[in-house]
Amino acid sequence: MTIFAAMEATPKPISKRGGRREGAGRSKQYGEQTSTLCFRVPQTHREKITAMVRAYLEGLKLEYKSKKHDPEYGC
């Protein structure tokens, strides 16, 4: 038996990872696709800018959640 014949005789290992499923994964927090944003800010204003951005995003999140459960919005 040659080396190539032995390699062909061994079965391919079965992957134990799961596949992609419809609806799987984390739900959208803002009702649309998101992207990562990175930019430079002065060190002295870093905390203030971070707090402003987080507060704005929290407002968007609350707005989306209120629309989602509004009787006039959907079903």
CB 31 within 8 A of CB 67: yes
Mean predicted lDDT score pLDDT of the chain: 79
For the chain, give every domain's residue range: 39-75
3-12, 39-48, 56-65, range with greatest mean pLDDT = 39-48
What's residue 44's pLDDT?
Answer: 96
Residue 16 has pLDDT above 90, yes or no: no
Alpha helices in 1-75 (DSSP H): 3-9, 46-68
Q: What is the mean pLDDT of residues 64-73?
A: 66
Query: What pLDDT was estimated at residue 51?
Result: 96
